[in-house]
Structure 1
Amino acid sequence: MIPNLSEEKSGVTLIVPSEQKSPFKQLFKRGTDIKFRLGFLKRRHTEGTINPSSVRPVPEEAQKWSNSFSDLMASKYGQALFTAFLQREFSEENIEFWLAVEDYRKSRQNKLNSKAQKIYNEFVIAQAPKEVNLDALTRDGLVSKMAQPTPSTFDQAQKRVQGLLEADAYSRFLKSDLYMELLHPEKYQNSS
Structure 2
Amino acid sequence: MSPKLVDKTEKINEIATAALYLFAKKGYAATSVEQIAEAAGIGKGTVYEYFPSKEEIFVHAINDWIMDLINRMLEKTRDIENPVERLKAFIEMVKDVLNVEEPDPKKLFADIDQQTFMQGGAFYKRRHIIKDMRATFCDLVVDILLDGVSKKVFKPEIARDVSKIAINLLAYLDGICMHYLIMEEYQEFEDQIDFHVKGFVDYILV
What is the TM-score of this pair, normalised by structure 1?
0.29
The TM-score with structure 2 as length reference comes to: 0.27
Higher share of residues assigned helix: 2
When Rg is computed on C-alpha atoms for both structures, the one with the higher figure is 2
Give the number of the structure whose residues are more often strand, by fraction. Answer: 1
